[in-house]
Structure 1
Amino acid sequence: MALANIPLAPVLPGSRHLHSGKVRDLYELTDGQHAGKLLMVASDRLSIFDFVLETTIPDKGEILTRTSLWWFEQLSDLVPNHIVSTDVPPEVAGRAVICDRLAMYPVECVARGYLTGSGLLDYQATGEVCGIALPGGLVDGSRLPAPIFTPATKADLGDHDENVSYDAVVGTVGAEIAGQLRELTLAVYGRAEEIARERGIILADTKLEFGDRDGTIVLADEVLTPDSSRYWPADDWAPGRAQPSYDKQIVRNWALSPESGWDRASGESPPPLPPEVIERTRSRYVEAYELLTGETF
């Protein structure tokens, strides 16, 4: 499988490794005041087209962690989150958080304010996204009349998430929870889109994850990072084409270019990234963080 090349997670004293994904390593703390809580570590790994690359992006894990923490703070009056502490083992300082163990809902909660990606493909095929009819004549990058909730299934590691209808979410979690997930997702997107726009950035769409903690819906995992969201420079926005973005699109473009020498259909992992692609990608992550938060990385 494409993702079999995920490196072994580091051994951390006082913890037990539970799982590794494309970017994050998850542990259970076994010692100290937070024993039984989860330790979520963001690595510098990068994945494209369901391959975890051999090359890492320096500081990416710390940027993602700091971005999420900043957003959790901006959203704290809208929805509780899973963060317990940032007092983490020194081996992962700056790139990890201690968080509650939640009963996660098996739904990727996606909000879209602009049409692109898989939503665009669905629209071009049917005129709808996740069963929501949209006006005719929309193109790549079009702003939607209003943000929409376009959920997806949570795919197994190495597979793609699949867009589903709202009725499918109701069938999975029940009508009451489905309604709350939709309401919270759109509320988070609305708040974040406004904040980002004030800073010269368009938040085109974002993917959120929620879980249950003692009957309360809690925002979990990462939130509003360039890995889970599409951010575009507002002054470069031009519907009708692919938009410049603050994410790993630079890497995707290089991998698909003749320069890389990679054949996507080969089944082989993409080759190591050249230094200039690594630095340009890192710079985009840093730029997004600094523009959004007003902080210097």
Structure 2
Amino acid sequence: MTDSEYAGWTHVYSGKVRDLYVPTSTMTDDDTWTGDPLALSPVVLVVASDRVSAFDHVLDPAIPGKGAMLTELTRWWFDQLPEVPNHLAHPLDDRLEALGLPEIPAELADRATLCRTLDMFPIECVVRGFITGGGWKDYQATGTIGGIPLPEGLSNGDRLPEPIFTPAWKAPLGEHDENITYERAAEIVGETVASQLRELSLQIFTKAQAIAEARGLILADTKFEFGADRATGIITLGDEVLTSDSSRYWDAAAYANEATPELRMASFDKQIVRDWLAANWDQSGTPPTLPHEIVEQTAGKYRELLDRLGA
């Protein structure tokens, strides 16, 4: 994607799934400046692509409609959480009105979010209500998750006595994120901020879990990202929120009635892709092309979660 393709917007970053653009008017004309372009702009256009990644690789082909579905779900969850400050930008905001923001390109409208830039904390705020995934591996090895002791005798997929906050450190680009203890998080961002991040994360998770359960779904775990509002310093919820890519959802009826973990904990996300890739690739060289039926099944899981939530 080149800068000239979207009038008034300059592309500044591409991750595995998202692309970031800032208003061209906020870019510096100093060719020697090598700093972060997001530091100069009060807003950023976050565009969710249809790309799908697994095992640290972007795969081919993309999942049709994925970016729009993730964006729709994030917008819906923000509406369910009016009490939590979030990064959505409103063009009539006094701080933005003077910018004369360019129009959001029509071809991006269903998967683009205009956001206020935040000073992001280098912490992923993971909350777990059930034991599974990497948390299950840690528990098997140590009896703890993130340094938090848990009762003996838990099985994969069990509900925890109460949700727990198990942060991760966001590693620099190209490196793996690192699971850390709360105490390490406090060393990184300070005790006051760490305490607020934990409280907010658990508060949001508890509310979201109740909303999901009312719709026959289990929210097993999720991750949040927060930053400080540059004008007020208020801790603000950013990034995607409670989507299929950041959260693990299960069908409550299947969880209660199915005998095998594979069926009991089938999730509404790209697990189908991970499972197929694990069975058909040794993780060396270039990943194989995803079969059409795997792509279609994955797109169907993303859509089914939207429909079940009523988003």
| Same fold by TM-score greater than 0.5 | yes
State which of 225, 230, 237 in structure 2 corresponds to 1:209: 225
Q: Does 1:200 align with 2:216?
A: yes
Q: Paired residue for 1:23? A: 17
14-23 or 239-248, larger mean C-alpha shift: 239-248
Q: Paired residue for 1:46? A: 52
Q: Paired residue for 1:272? A: 289
Query: In the aligned structure 1, how far is the partner of 2:142 from the partner of 2:5?
Result: 48
State which of 121, 139, 150 in structure 1 corresponds to 2:166: 150
Q: Paired residue for 2:271? A: 249
Query: In the aligned structure 2, how far is the partner of 1:82 from the partner of 1:44?
Result: 22
Query: In the aligned structure 1, how far is the partner of 2:276 from the partner of 2:4?
Result: 30
The 5 Å alignment of 1:105-120 reads 105-120=121-136
Q: Does 1:231 align with 2:239?
A: no
State the aligned residue count.
280
Structure 1 stretches lacking a partner, 5+ long:
1-6
Q: Paired residue for 2:75? A: 69
In the superposition, the TM-score normalised over structure 2's length comes to 0.86
Shift of 1:290: 1.1
State which of 44, 59, 64 in structure 2 corresponds to 1:58: 64
- Higher CA-based Rg: 2
Shift of 1:160: 2.8
Query: In the aligned structure 2, how far is the partner of 1:291 from the partner of 1:114?
Result: 20
In the superposition, the TM-score normalised over structure 1's length comes to 0.89
Structure 2 stretches lacking a partner, 5+ long:
27-40, 92-102
Give secondary structure in 1 for the equivalent of 2:141: helix
Task: State the Cα deviation string for residues 271-292 of structure 1 (Å, max 9, x = none).
Answer: 1111111110000000001111
In angstroms, what is the RMSD of aligned CA positions?
1.9
Indicate the percent of aligned positions where both proteins have the same amino acid. Answer: 52
Contact 1:85 1:97 in 2 (8 A): no
State which of 193, 214, 226 in structure 2 corresponds to 1:177: 193
Question: Structure 2 counterpart of 1:29, which letter?
Answer: P
